[in-house]
A and B are shown apart, each in its own frame.
Chain A
Amino acid sequence: MAGQVVEWVLRVLVGVVLAAAGAAKAFQPEAFAVEVDRFQLTPWLLSLALGYFLPWFEIVTAIALFFRPLYLGALLAISGLGMLFAVAVGSAWWRELDISCGCFGALVSGRVDAWHLVSALLFVGVGSALLVYQGRLRSKAPEMSSKPS
């Protein structure tokens, strides 16, 4: 029971953050592409493609957290997004790039710092932990695990 409550709280928190982040960037993809390009990890065309793709992927993942047929995929996506963000932020921090995170588009202009890296790793942790939790639910009672808690 406690596990189910924690799971729901995490789903709501992560869903809200992801939906907000995606919505803030989805309608200004070129601006987000510029932010991606400033990390100096991708050529411009790939930055532009990511500028269009990532915000919608965040929105779709946020919705999928509450849509049973895609729930497990959403958890994996959260871990993947967190890992991607951690690599980008870690790389920028290591190279001492004075750039903004771009996480919420023009809404928030925070410089890349340790807090962003911690946030990214939290996403990886939450996604992974919920996947493991779902795995345990299915192992203990397979006949009850046809739907998430």
Chain B
Amino acid sequence: MHFGLSYVLVTAVRQLTWLVLIALLLSTLSWTLRNTRSAEPLAPGEIDLQTLSSMRAADILWVDARSKAKFDSRHIPGALLLNQADWESLVSNFYDQWQPGRQVVVYGEVDSDNGQEVASRLREESAIENVWVLKGGYEAWRAR
């Protein structure tokens, strides 16, 4: 290899290491500040309203994991009902509404696991990867 280019490449690799370290430091600082401000960091498979606000509405498929009574009373506009109790009768409607590329966001009550349960079941049965649970549940959306 040409001597000049060899020197350049070796030097470039050394300098790149510094760039990676600096970026790692800044990103770690960013992560620390963001997760210190919020009460709890996002768990795997969880998503918050702040993240969703930067996405296009058409790219989100809302899934309500609560009871039918609560869904009929109030729900996120455009959401479809899919809960454990009526899974067999409701899941076909979900598949009719879902399209590849859409982010599926499941919400339940903040003090219940129904959102997590429905999301887990969706991931297992449908093999859809982009299934998220809304942090804070329906209450977080109401309080925005």
Complex partner residue of A44 from B8, B44, B48, B51, CB under 8 angstroms:
B44
| Residues B16 and A73 in contact, CB atoms below 8 Å apart | yes
| Residues B55 and A70 in contact, CB atoms below 8 Å apart | no
- In the assembled complex, B2 has its CB within 8 A of some CB on chain A: yes
- Hey, what's the 0/1 contact readout for B1-29 against A, CB within 8 Å counting as 1? 01111111101111111111011101110
| Residues B23 and A57 in contact, CB atoms below 8 Å apart | yes
Q: Which interface class (under 10, 10 to 19, 20 to 34, 35 or more) fits B?
A: 35 or more
Which residues of B are found within 8 Å of A55, using beta-carbon distances?
Answer: 27
Cross-chain pair count, CB within 8 angstroms: 125
Given A45-B44, A60-B22, A77-B19, check contact A31 B55 (CB 8 Å): yes
One of A5-13, A83-91, A113-121, A131-139 contacting the partner: A131-139
Q: Which of A73, A77, A109, A139 has the most CB of B within 10 A?
A: A73
Given A29-B31, A29-B34, A34-B55, check contact A60 B4 (CB 8 Å): no
Given A53-B23, A72-B12, check contact A30 B47 (CB 8 Å): yes
- In the assembled complex, B129 has its CB within 8 A of some CB on chain A: yes
| B139 CB, min distance to chain A CBs, angstroms | 20
Which residues of B are found within 8 Å of A26, using beta-carbon distances?
Answer: 30
Which residues of B are found within 8 Å of A100, using beta-carbon distances?
Answer: 56, 59
| B25 CB, min distance to chain A CBs, angstroms | 9
| Residues B51 and A38 in contact, CB atoms below 8 Å apart | no
Given A30-B50, A45-B44, A97-B101, check contact A69 B55 (CB 8 Å): no
- In the assembled complex, A123 has its CB within 8 A of some CB on chain B: no
| Residues A135 and B22 in contact, CB atoms below 8 Å apart | no
| Residues A57 and B12 in contact, CB atoms below 8 Å apart | no
| A76 CB, min distance to chain B CBs, angstroms | 4
Binding site for A on B (CB under 8 A): 2-9, 11-20, 22-24, 26-28, 30-31, 34, 42, 44-45, 47-48, 50-51, 54-56, 59, 99-101, 103, 129-130
* 12 other A-B residue contacts (CB within 8 Å) besides A52-B30, A134-B8, A139-B2: A26-B30, A30-B50, A30-B51, A34-B103, A38-B101, A38-B130, A52-B27, A53-B23, A60-B19, A73-B11, A135-B5, A138-B8
- Could you write out 9 A-B pairs with CB less than 8 Å apart? A34-B47, A34-B51, A45-B44, A72-B8, A73-B15, A76-B12, A97-B100, A98-B101, A139-B3
Binding site for B on A (CB under 8 A): 26, 28-31, 34, 37-38, 40, 44-45, 48, 52-53, 55-57, 59-61, 64, 69-77, 80, 97-100, 105-106, 109, 131-132, 134-140, 142, 145
